[in-house]
């Protein structure tokens, strides 16, 4: 991996991590087009650049993270299912990550769902992410676990989970952003731990690539989150459903034409 490739992947991560379109699917397509060969560092990079996008949430919603301890209690409750499912099904999750076909199918099915989700959940009455109940937080956390299937999208799963509990699109999206902080931090920490446990080390050049990817992801995510909230509040999910179907179709066509996609 070179600096240009790190910049491109950082941009893609920043743009797609908080949108309901699956950052994994986009990173697979981009890395394949650029000819990036999958190796332990590349797999680490695609997870570790989430730290930059996590920081963007903390910066944008800085005051919300210091409003009350109850805010953290609810995040913890929502985070618990990811810990349990991650520990129970870690091997199966790793197997799914090796399957571009799983990503393509998940993108397509998720896209179809997003075409109709605005009509399914019209009677939302909770417009403040801080006012959700503990049972609601737990249910959103369970929905988030669906994103352990590559291509589902953590953002899409948790936002739809919130909407099933009568959160408005805006409130569901914001809680999804908040929940991303502990979830993505834990995923990054685990990936780093596994990387070093397997005897790998990071060179000085690779540290620079990680810094560049995180910095780019941070800046792009700041813009993407603000734009997404504004668009989502007014227009809903339909455009994202159409987009997912197109991307999933591209991956399927590439696979059926014999193109070898790099797994991440």
**What are the pLDDT digits (tens) for 201-244?**
888 999 999 999 999 999 999 999 989 988 988 888 999 999 99
* Any domain includes 179: yes
Considering the domain boundaries, does residue 135 fall inside one? yes
- Give CA–CA dist 9/21, Å, rounded: 15
112-123: per-residue pLDDT in tens? 999 999 888 877
Residue 261 lies in a domain: no
In a domain, 262, yes or no: no
**CA distance linking residue 56 with residue 95, whole number of Å:** 30
Domain carrying residue 112: 3-256
CA separation (Å) from 27 to 31, 100, 240? 6, 11, 17
The total domain count for the chain is 1
Q: What Cα–Cα distance (Å) separates residue 185 from each residue in 109, 132, 190?
A: 27, 23, 9
Whether the pTM exceeds 0.75: the reply is yes
Within a domain: 74: yes
* pLDDT score recorded for residue 217: 94
Residue 106 lies in a domain: yes
* pLDDT, tens digit (0-9, with 9 covering 90-100), for 131-190: 899 999 999 999 999 988 888 889 999 999 999 999 999 899 999 999 999 998 888 888
> Is 264 domain-assigned?
no
Can you give the pLDDT at residue 94?
Answer: 66
Dihedral (Cα; 242, 136, 47, 13), 10-degree rounding: 40
The SS3 assignment for 202 reads: coil
Q: Is residue 84 domain-resident?
A: yes
């Amino acid at each position: 991996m070179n600096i240009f490739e790190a910049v491109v992947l950082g941009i893609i991560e920043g743009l797609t991590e908080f949108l309901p379109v699956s950052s994994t699917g986009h990173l697979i397509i981009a890395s394949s087009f650029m000819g990036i060969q999958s190796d332990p560092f590349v797999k680490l990079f695609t997870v570790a650049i989430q730290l930059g996008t996590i920081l963007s949430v903390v910066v944008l919603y800085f005051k919300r993270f210091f409003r009350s301890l109850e805010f953290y209690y609810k995040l913890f409750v929502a985070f618990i299912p990811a810990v349990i499912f991650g520990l129970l099904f870690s091997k199966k999750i790793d197997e799914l990550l090796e399957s571009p076909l799983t990503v393509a199918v998940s993108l397509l099915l998720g896209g179809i769902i997003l075409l109709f989700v605005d009509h399914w959940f019209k009677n939302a009455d909770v417009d403040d992410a801080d006012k959700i109940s503990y049972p609601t937080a737990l249910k959103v956390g369970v929905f988030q676990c669906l994103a352990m299937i590559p291509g589902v999208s953590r953002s899409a799963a948790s936002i739809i989970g919130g909407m099933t509990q009568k959160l408005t699109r805006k409130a569901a999206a914001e809680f999804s952003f908040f929940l991303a902080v502990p979830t993505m931090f834990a995923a990054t920490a685990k990936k780093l731990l596994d990387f070093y446990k397997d005897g790998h080390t990071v060179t000085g050049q690779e540290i620079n690539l990680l810094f560049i990817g995180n910095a780019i992801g941070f800046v792009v995510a700041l813009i993407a989150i603000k734009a997404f909230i504004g668009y989502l509040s007014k227009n809903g999910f339909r455009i994202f459903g159409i987009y997912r179907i197109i991307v999933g179709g591209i991956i399927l066509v590439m696979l059926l034409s014999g193109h070898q996609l790099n797994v991440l």
